[in-house]
Amino acid sequence: MRHRVVENKSCVDRGSTPLARRKFLHILISKHSVGFQRIKNTLLMGTDYGTHNQRPSAFPVKDGLFKQRDSARAGTITGRERKRIQRVDLVGVVRFLMMRFLVLFRGTFQGFRHPEFCSLVRLIGGLERADAFQGLQPCWKGEGNEETRQHGDVFQWVELDSLEEARRIASRSVLIRAIFICWGCGRSYQECLDNVLETDPDMEPLLSDGDESFKCVIDGFGRSYSYDDQISKMTFFTPVLSKLKAKVRLKKPAHEIWIMEDVFPSKGHRHIPDRSEQPRQVFLGLKIADGGHHYASSYTLKRRKYIGTTSMDAELSFIMANQAVVKPGSVVMDPFVGTGSIIISAAAFGAEVIGSDIDMNVLRGKEDRDIRSNFSQYNLNFPAGIIRCDLLKSPWRDGSVSGGWLDAILCDPPYGIREGSRSFNEYEVPEELKAGHIPQTKRVRFSDHLVNLLDFAAKNLVVHGRLVFWLPTTPDYSDEDVPTHACMKLVSNCEQVLTMRFRRRLLTFEKFHSLERAELDSELVRLTYGERSTKSAHTNFAATVLRQQHRREETLELPRRK
């Protein structure tokens, strides 16, 4: 039972409260006249800064450090080791200066939370920051199986540089509900209250009686409370709330204090907990940022004028754009654009978008509804290009633009359930027949699209550009089904279960070095994927899921590849 309190206390020792951190930073800057940036640089450069004895008493001490410092005191270490120890201490300093936040996620798409968050850290802070990012830590550390844990995982701890960073991440995330500075937490209301009183967090600016205002919000994940219940829960925290001098205002308060509960239903995760059930985690925190779920709701397919059977859900499209670290001015392409549902999200984030598809009808739309009319509906700049083409016979100057020209490629490749994978037959048409000619298409194996897509991405993306796409699979999926390419590094791979037999995985690749470099090592550039495609779960995907033998891919001839 003590577990949670102890843990939260240690986080306070490391300066989770803004006051403690400000104090510490102040000491550091005045005593050693160095700025935060310099401390960071020192750390990155690997040289040491300061001496041990000048360290303030509140210095962060992690388990591992204790031992090392003891051995240092015992005089058993060499010079080089001492240097390393000082570096480790600096890691401590920087970690100490990081702020710890409580992130409250929405209940959906659990598997996508961590990848989306990491991508956003990268988007806001750049590559270096992303490398140093420590990741999310689930708050629920208790016993339980996969399901009980997943349920509790809407609450996660995260260490970030600043309030500003937290706010910017939250505003782009469609999976985050809100981010908080946690004042206290526990496994019951009593524990939570004790924890707040014991750790005495910094409650500025609510302590001054100026214009500041606040309200209390009760949030039970997965359940709602009657007015009376809410009042009694708030009154429970009177010892804390009574310290606040700010006015209570229910409409548009400047601050919100949330009392959050995680109640795991005793009947299992599919049930709604009943009113008598006790929470297993309780948090009290000051909300500092709202998530960006409004993107998903204002771009919902329900109100979009032009959609088709294959249009991508708005929420998932925004997750894709986040995975691809799309920012204003990025150049983004969907080579299987269909009704344009995926590029809409990229355009909403300020990207210049290009879409292509083999099917002229889907591009042209119906009457006055088409991809362009969707862009007008949302008041977005029109796409830079809508092209009808076959990705297997690409009209792009791939590769010849040294260093690439696309910042991201987002797509849902055709896998033959709704839209067949097809390609045009190439043949000569006599001049006199050309005008009314309908080109023949043929079905194409899904794996050829995959191989081609990775190749296309490697040629056209800028270095550090990302390719984000859906891989349809079945429960037989194995990691070997994921295609590989010498220039492309798999960043994340998350599954969405659609039906018993049908799932898909959102794969995020990053081009990590230029094609020229990979070509130096021609062994590496070989696509390892095509050779074993017959064994993967997505081969014959349409045939398996629809149980239609005539869709098997073995019947298709192998395409000629140069």
Ligand X SMILES: C[S@@+](CC[C@H](N)C(=O)[O-])C[C@H]1O[C@@H](n2cnc3c(N)ncnc32)[C@H](O)[C@@H]1O
Quick check: 277 binds ligand X (CB under 6 A)? Answer: no
Q: How far is the CB of 417 from ligand X (least distance, A)?
A: 8
Nearer of residues 212 and 419 to ligand X, judged by Cβ: 419
Q: By C-alpha distance, which of 178, 197, 195 is closest to 186?
A: 195
CA distances 51 to 86, 89, 157, Å, are: 8, 10, 31
When CB distances to ligand X are compared, the closest residue is 338
Binding partner selected for residue 427 from ligand X, other proteins, none, CB under the kind-specific 5 to 8 Å limit = other proteins
Quick check: 553 binds ligand X (CB under 6 A)? Answer: no
- Please identify, among the stretches 209-217, 266-274, 334-342, 514-522, the one whose residues bind ligand X according to the rule CB under 6 A: 334-342
Q: Are 441 and 399 in contact (CB under 8 A)?
A: no
Please give the Cα distance from 104 to 258 (Å, whole number): 11
367: left (phi over 0), alpha (psi -120 to 50) or beta: left
Tokens found for residue 351: 């990207």
- Residue showing tokens 């309200």: 215
Nearer of residues 447 and 460 to other proteins, judged by Cβ: 460
Q: Are 215 and 144 in contact (CB under 8 A)?
A: no
Quick check: 348 binds ligand X (CB under 6 A)? Answer: no
Q: By C-alpha distance, which of 454, 442, 423, 476 is closest to 529?
A: 454
Q: Are 456 and 398 in contact (CB under 8 A)?
A: yes
Quick check: 390 binds ligand X (CB under 6 A)? Answer: yes
Nearer of residues 100 and 504 to ligand X, judged by Cβ: 504
Binding partner selected for residue 405 from ligand X, other proteins, none, CB under the kind-specific 5 to 8 Å limit = other proteins
- Please identify, among the stretches 226-234, 237-245, 330-338, 478-486, the one whose residues bind ligand X according to the rule CB under 6 A: 330-338
Q: How far is the CB of 418 from other proteins (least distance, A)?
A: 6
SS3 readout for 121-158: HHHHHHHHHHHHCCCCEECCCCCCCHHHHHHHCCEEEE
Quick check: 342 binds ligand X (CB under 6 A)? Answer: yes
Nearer of residues 223 and 443 to other proteins, judged by Cβ: 443
**Residue among 24, 183, 237, 336 that touches ligand X (CB under 6 A):** 336
Binding partner selected for residue 426 from ligand X, other proteins, none, CB under the kind-specific 5 to 8 Å limit = other proteins
Q: Which amino acid is at 335?
A: P
Nearer of residues 246 and 320 to ligand X, judged by Cβ: 320
Quick check: 467 binds ligand X (CB under 6 A)? Answer: no
Nearer of residues 66 and 382 to other proteins, judged by Cβ: 382
Nearer of residues 281 and 356 to other proteins, judged by Cβ: 356
Using CB under 8 A, list all residues that contact other proteins: 309, 328-329, 331, 352, 354, 356, 359-361, 363-364, 372, 381-382, 384-390, 393-397, 400-401, 403-405, 416-420, 422, 424, 426-427, 429, 434-439, 441, 462, 546
Nearer of residues 33 and 379 to other proteins, judged by Cβ: 379
Q: How, if at all, do strands 406-411 and 461-473 pair?
A: parallel
- Residue showing tokens 């001049």: 431
Chain CA centroid to CA 102, Å: 16
Q: Are 320 and 353 in contact (CB under 8 A)?
A: no
Q: With H, G, I as helix, E, B as strand and everything else as coil, classify residue 410.
A: strand
Tokens found for residue 292: 């960006």
Q: Which H helix or E strand runs over 442? A: strand 441-443
Please give the Cα distance from 105 to 153 (Å, whole number): 8
Chain CA centroid to CA 225, Å: 31
Q: How far is the CB of 357 from ligand X (least distance, A)?
A: 5
Tokens found for residue 550: 């005539």
- Please identify, among the stretches 29-37, 249-257, 338-346, 541-549, the one whose residues bind ligand X according to the rule CB under 6 A: 338-346
Q: How far is the CB of 344 from ligand X (least distance, A)?
A: 8
Quick check: 281 binds ligand X (CB under 6 A)? Answer: no
**Residue among 246, 358, 494, 537 that touches ligand X (CB under 6 A):** 358
**Residue among 106, 172, 422, 551 that touches ligand X (CB under 6 A):** 422
**Residue among 89, 370, 407, 419 that touches ligand X (CB under 6 A):** 419
Longest dimension (CA), the chain: 94
Residues lying near ligand X in the complex (CB under 6 A) are found at 308, 310-312, 335-336, 338-342, 357-359, 362, 390-392, 412, 414, 419, 421-423
